Amino acid sequence: MFRRSKPTSDSADASAETSEPRSKKKRMFAAFVMFMHVLGALTSIQAVMSTRTSQGAVAWAVSLNTLPYVAVPAYWGLGQSKFDGYDLLRRSEQLASSDFANRTRIELEEDNLLLVPQTPYEESQSRLLNSLSRLPITTGNSAKLLIDGKETFDAILDGIDEAEDYVLFQFYILRDDNLGQKCKAAFLKKAAEGVRVYVLYDELGSKDLSPKYIDELRSGGVEIFPFNTTQGKGNRFRLNFRNHRKIVVVDGKVAFVGGHNVGDEYLGDHPVLTPWRDTHVELRGPVVLCIQTPFVEDWNWATGSLPELQWDPKREEGGEVVAACLPTGPADTLETGTLFFLQAINSAKDRLWIVSPYFIPDEQLMSALQLAALRGVDVRILIPQNPDHLHVYWSGISYLEEAKEAGIQIYRYQPGFLHQKVWLIDDSISLIGTANLDNRSMRLNFEITMLMINQEFAKKVETMLEADFAKSELASAAEYTESSLPYRFLVRVCRLLAPIQ
């Protein structure tokens, strides 16, 4: 009875016009999907060939092939662990022909300022540290423990005020706040006196630093530059690297290294995390020349130039500290940080006390800690109770059960926030620096660690840490094992994400 009427030519043309853009969009979408999966597959080959850990390689390979839309940009932004284009001047002809590598070493030998190993064991340890750092292990140094922000920055600002030739000033975070203003005033004062002032900051860590602050310093004769980790073709999209070093050197005579940054919170002015607990060390003697070496390398990366500095080693009067400087970073051929801290753990005979705000060791470091505890070493880990990053805190909870099984004691510092990076090994070895016990410090950050061998100094570190442990509580494995399944799952997921935390 009813017949469907045939479409008119006009309606047929309209239908064809509508379907053609839709078909074109589908083809474009299909082409995009194909392109992303091909790109994901090719990128997964790159990940398998270059990722430093097998776990990371597997994780990236799976995600790049299953979720390339998310994983591909994430990998190129966050997945790289090799930093291209950075010159380790300690290993190049440029510094090998300089005063520091030649005349300075001769003077160190002539003045008996190089450590002379007395036993085969000391010889092997010295060879290892020299191979990792490419810097000498020196004698004739003094070391002063600086506890918390006021003592640290009073000493730093006093040191800057005494400068006669140059000031090297490098921090991961440089803020334009009260402390930042004090530093700026000190820089401008010395620059007006004719002292050369070089300031280096990490561009991502100091992202809130105002252009006005920088302009005022440059107008006053201060050389200030960012350490931009994304400069250069090979690093343009690599957002996961940081220069986490904190270095101050004055005239090649005194140096300061430790956990503090330039910000009011490090003086205890934070709305939530006060009091802020941190540690620095002031060093004098020939080791200062070693400390200014990584600054020169970082400055060369940032500016393409090398400042003229003092490289004549001087014994500090009354200095009895053996000291070494270990700069580490993603430009190293080997995983220098991991190798050094593994050896430090393995060398402990009686005591191994470690303080780190971020405790997320990889499998090999955790295994070394367990082995140390199982052979009878007093292994204690001190971490903050009040975290500044929740995902890091949750990651750390996943280690409580493994620590308990081996006899490792993990303490939580109760007041404020604990930010120091300090190790105490047996009765004479102390480590103070910028490196945390996590993947970022081992593989992604430029860090610096100072090693001091001296019983008197180690005793002061021991007294300091005993006071910190007295303000701490022993963590229980039940925090993890007796928690709900969703919480334990969250903890494990955070631990899996440790490589990019």
Q: Which residues are catalytic?
A: 244, 246, 251, 419, 421, 426
Q: What angle do CA 56, 62, 66 make, to 5 degrees?
A: 145
Measured distance CA(63)–CA(40) in Å, rounded: 9
Cα-based distances in Å from 141 to 99, 258, 291, 322:
20, 17, 13, 6
DSSP letter (8 states) at residue 312? -
Could you tell me if residue 484 is left (phi over 0), alpha (psi between -120 and 50 degrees) or otherwise beta?
beta
- Three-state secondary-structure class, residue 231: coil
- Mention every residue, 6+ apart, whose C-beta is less than 8 A from residue 313: 104, 107, 108, 111, 113, 138, 285, 286, 289
List the structure tokens of 274. Answer: 């006060």
Q: How do 378-384 and 409-413 pair as beta strands?
A: parallel
Dihedral angle, C-alpha 478, 481, 483, 488, nearest 10 °:
140
Look up tokens 């334009």; give the residue: 176
Q: Mind giving me the DSSP string for 320-382?
A: -EEEEEEEE-TTSSS-HHHHHHHHHHHH-SSEEEEE-S-EE--HHHHHHHHHHHHTT-EEEEE
Q: Which residues contact 222 (CB under 8 A, 6 or more apart)?
A: 187, 188, 191, 197, 199
Given the DSSP bridges, would you call strands 445-453 and 321-328 parallel, antiparallel or unpaired?
antiparallel
| Rg over CA atoms, the chain | 27
Closest Cα partner for 389 from 359, 413, 422? 359
Of the candidates 254, 246, 223, the one whose C-alpha atom is nearest the C-alpha of residue 161 is 254
CB atoms within 10 A of CB 160: 21
Q: Contact, 355 vs 424, CB < 8 A?
A: no
